[in-house]
């Protein structure tokens, strides 16, 4: 198997007739999916998503792919193909369009409608090209065929990219639900036809490569949701991804059967379900929906609330309910249904929300105690099926953490793909498809770009390290006044501490140590302010470490007279 190496340098020029693939996100992580294809100097992008921050990234709202690799070549981009409308595949599109607003967006009807609704908030009017499964369209040198795939959102697509270098099949996110609630099956016949034609490189979703067998059908969730709503004596509050139209449909159907009204809570939930309803993807029975602001007018036993926050997001509706920071107050006897998977890394946040809801008397139904979720990603049995249908000459696992990529690579080897034709890459690694062989040829920078409020890219890893120190250890500021010509101390030091856990009175005993250290430097003729700052920082740091075994941030403030 070919795999990345930390010593990889910049890639050579792309050979004539070759196809270059560079993933700027989605390899070695769950999210931030973005792949750049290059042929004859032209670029095609597949997906442009975001990654959600982890607890060790305080203050960060979103993590974007780094566009530096393509920033000088924005005019070479033919189009952005969007496989489906999940945030980890479309969330970074507004930030890419800030760089060039007229990049054509290619996708299915629902995908484009949801991204257009998102772009409205960014005051961007996109250039759109709607496609449906079975169609072929050319974007510059890229001949793209679109195939239906079943996923946890309607209208998902795979894309086969044809160039003279060969055929690349990019599955997007998919599963092989044989009884999908919307009747839309993954196009296995199309995959097989491509396999007969000859797939030179298969890029396939790896998220569930470690899970044996086949994913359970979405239809099996319906009876569980129905039972929860039927047996609940008070309000039912369902938390789901704001894009999971199939799941929300099942909730609405069950609510209608049991004569309950449904209120949508949360801006993204209201926006997405409104789009899905207008386009006919969500079938809403007459008089079912009521405004969330009027919910108190209805008896609790006649209400179902559908909200965001199934991942424990701090500002989402469910988290705010758990913290008593939302107009909707959780009451004794309410039932909360977490109808989504648990994204890796969110376990602590979700458990905190469950505990908060339980504290106020709610019964919480989740994946751990009921069959309330099935994955939208193909398990190992389905991945093997696709490998055998397409019989690729080369294979590159995508969309997953390292363990998922390696597990998927092993499946490919079992189906007969030679080890030296299996490419395990990570973000930024450059893969060239030349003369029927896919090989790693170098690497480009593909780091994280952090969104913090209105700032994009201004927060660095150093900034996050400082935030973690401040959050864990607090800070100590030391103000001293020195003579700029002699370096002698003329006033201070004055010490202030926040969050350090140190009794301020203890500083009175320590101040003479700082004074002595500064006097010694002044006696040595030191007048450089940077050196004086270092003396203060080292002296305070050593004392705090020796006395309290702590390492707060130390901020020397040197005033010159």
Binding site listing: 59, 61, 84, 86, 88-89, 151, 173, 242-244, 373-377, 399, 452
- Cis peptide, bond prior to residue 493, ω within 30 of zero: yes
Tokens 């320590």, located at residue: 510
- Looking at residue 423, the DSSP 8-state letter turns out to be B
Residues belonging to the binding site for Zn(2+) are 84, 86, 88-89, 151, 173, 399
Strands, E assignment, 120-187 = 127-130, 136-139, 142-148, 157-163, 166-170
CB 316 within 8 A of CB 306: no
**What are 37's two structure tokens?**
């294809």
Look up 377 and say whether it is catalytic: yes
CB 189 within 8 A of CB 197: no
- 540, 536, 534: which is closest to 552 by C-alpha? 540
- What is Dmax (Cα atoms) for the chain? 87
Q: CB-based contacts of 541: which residues, under 8 Å, 6+ apart?
A: 551, 554
CB 502 within 8 A of CB 509: no
How far apart, in whole angstroms, are the C-alpha atoms of residue 240 and residue 430? 37
Look up 294 and say whether it is catalytic: no
* Triad 291, 151, 55: Cα angle to 5°: 70
457 HSE (CA, 13 A, CB side):
9
What's the count of helices (H) and strands (E) in the chain, helices before strands? 15, 25
Alpha helices in 202-346 (DSSP H): 221-231, 245-257, 267-278, 317-322
Q: Which of 47, 66, 187, 205 is catalytic?
A: 205
Residues belonging to the binding site for Ca(2+) are 59, 61, 452
DSSP per-residue letters across 44-109: EEE----BPPPTTSTT--EEEPPTHHHHTTGGGEEEEE-----HHHHTTHHHHHHH-TTPEEEE-H
**What are 517's two structure tokens?**
């250290």
Alpha helices in 431-548 (DSSP H): 461-473, 505-523, 529-548
**What are 540's two structure tokens?**
């305070």
- 486, 478, 483, 482: which is closest to 553 by C-alpha? 478
- In angstroms, how far is CA 130 from the centroid of its own chain? 25
* Triad 312, 314, 316: Cα angle to 5°: 80
Q: Which of 170, 246, 366, 377 is catalytic?
A: 377
Q: CB-based contacts of 449: which residues, under 8 Å, 6+ apart?
A: 63, 64, 65, 66, 67, 456, 457
- 469, 485, 489: which is closest to 558 by C-alpha? 489
Q: List, by residue number, the catalytic residues.
A: 205, 377
């Amino acid at each position: 198997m070919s795999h990345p190496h930390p010593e990889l340098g910049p890639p050579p020029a792309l050979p004539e007739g070759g196809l270059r693939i560079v993933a700027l996100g989605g390899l070695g992580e769950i999210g931030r999916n973005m792949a750049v294809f290059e042929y004859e100097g032209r670029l095609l992008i597949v997906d442009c998503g975001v990654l959600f921050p982890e607890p060790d990234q305080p203050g960060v709202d979103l993590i974007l792919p780094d566009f530096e690799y393509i920033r000088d070549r924005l005019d070479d981009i033919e189009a952005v193909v969007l496989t489906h409308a999940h945030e980890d595949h479309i969330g970074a599109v507004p930030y890419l369009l800030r760089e060039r607003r007229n990049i054509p967006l290619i996708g299915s009807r629902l995908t484009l409608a949801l991204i257009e609704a998102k772009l409205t908030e960014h005051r961007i009017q996109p250039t759109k090209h709607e496609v449906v499964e079975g169609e072929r369209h050319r974007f510059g040198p890229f001949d793209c065929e679109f195939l239906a795939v079943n996923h946890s959102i309607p209208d998902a697509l795979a894309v086969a990219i044809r160039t003279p270098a060969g055929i690349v099949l990019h599955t997007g996110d998919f599963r092989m639900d044989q009884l999908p609630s919307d009747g839309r099956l993954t196009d296995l016949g199309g995959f097989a036809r491509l396999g007969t034609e000859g797939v030179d490189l298969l890029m396939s979703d790896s998220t569930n490569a470690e899970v044996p067998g086949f994913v359970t059908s979405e239809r099996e969730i319906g009876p569980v949701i129905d039972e929860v709503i039927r047996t609940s004596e008070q309000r039912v509050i369902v938390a789901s991804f704001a894009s999971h139209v199939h799941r929300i449909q099942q909730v609405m159907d069950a609510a209608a059967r049991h004569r309950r009204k449904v209120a949508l809570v949360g801006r993204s939930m209201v926006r997405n379900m409104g789009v899905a309803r207008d386009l006919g993807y969500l079938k809403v029975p007459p008089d079912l929906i009521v405004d969330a602001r009027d919910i108190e007018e209805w008896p609790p036993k006649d209400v179902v609330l559908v909200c965001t926050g199934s991942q424990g997001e701090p500002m989402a509706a469910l988290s705010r309910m758990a913290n008593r920071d939302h107009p909707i107050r959780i009451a004794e006897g309410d039932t909360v249904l977490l109808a989504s998977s648990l994204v890796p890394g969110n376990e602590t946040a979700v458990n905190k929300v469950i505990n908060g809801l339980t504290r106020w008397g709610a019964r919480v139904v989740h994946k751990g105690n009921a069959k309330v979720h099935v994955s939208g990603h193909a398990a190992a049995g389905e991945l093997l099926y696709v490998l055998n249908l397409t019989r690729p000459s080369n294979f590159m696992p995508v969309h997953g953490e390292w363990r998922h990529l390696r597990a998927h690579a092993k499946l490919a080897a079992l189906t007969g793909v030679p080890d030296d034709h299996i490419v395990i890459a990570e973000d930024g690694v450059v893969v060239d498809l030349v003369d029927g062989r896919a090989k790693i040829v170098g690497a480009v920078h593909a780091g994280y770009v952090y969104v913090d409020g209105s700032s994009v890219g201004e927060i660095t890893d150093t900034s996050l390290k400082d935030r973690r120190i401040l959050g864990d250890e607090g800070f100590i500021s030391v103000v001293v006044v020195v003579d700029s010509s002699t370096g002698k101390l003329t006033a201070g030091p004055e010490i202030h501490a926040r969050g350090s856990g140190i009794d301020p009175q203890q500083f009175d005993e320590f101040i003479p140590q700082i004074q002595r250290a500064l006097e010694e430097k002044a006696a040595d003729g030191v007048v450089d302010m940077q050196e004086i700052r270092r003396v203060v920082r080292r002296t305070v740091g050593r004392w705090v470490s020796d006395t309290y075994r702590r390492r707060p941030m130390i901020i020397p403030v040197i005033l010159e007279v």
